[in-house]
A and B are shown apart, each in its own frame.
Chain A
């Protein structure tokens, strides 16, 4: 079983749609969870951290479910500019240092 798993997609949605991605992780001792956005193999850029209570940033909502070991990202009112690959990152532990471990990414294509 891979440590961090994501559905690679692509998710093809029209503008204005709501779309959700999930990411599962294998290590129950994991700490710190993030969603990154990556465009055309440029460097990943932080989209948002994921907190236990859930958090929202504009059209984006992130949730953490520790019991089922997954995190989710919800995008409302999709824009053309949201087209990108969304990477899930989990700091895998335990140990002296938690290693940021990436999923392979989920591709989102927003069309007119």
Chain B
């Protein structure tokens, strides 16, 4: 059972480039989340989804987009990368409302 899989693990982008962070889970979880974590800080919610076809903004959505066409996949899109988006990105999922989160290994993104 792979759980939550994120790719890539590391990426360096130039300012203005775009990329997609991939996240897939094989646990048939309805709830999926994207967080970013800056040094010394907690995790901040970017976007989340409560099921296929449904997405909603979190605390820090600006500069990002998501889609949820299937239960398994929840990609995060950066359209015009900015240095402020340098961070570690975590994807997570859970099966039920009161359940704990399962995390992917994270993507370490640097924008220069």
List the interface of chain A (C-beta within 8 A of B): 4, 6, 8, 31-32, 34, 41-46, 49, 87, 89, 91, 96-105
Contact = CB atoms under 8 A, between A and B. Distances in A.
B58 to A, nearest CB: 7
Nearest to B30: A97
Contacts of B106: 41-43
Interface residues of B, number: 28
A98 B45 contact: no
14 contacts: A32-B97, A34-B101, A41-B106, A42-B106, A43-B90, A43-B106, A89-B100, A91-B98, A97-B50, A100-B33, A100-B101, A102-B42, A103-B42, A104-B40
Interface secondary structure of A, over-half rule = strand
Nearest to A3: B59
Minimum-distance CB pairs A-B, first 6: A104-B42, A43-B103, A102-B42, A102-B43, A32-B98, A46-B100
A37 B112 CA distance: 30
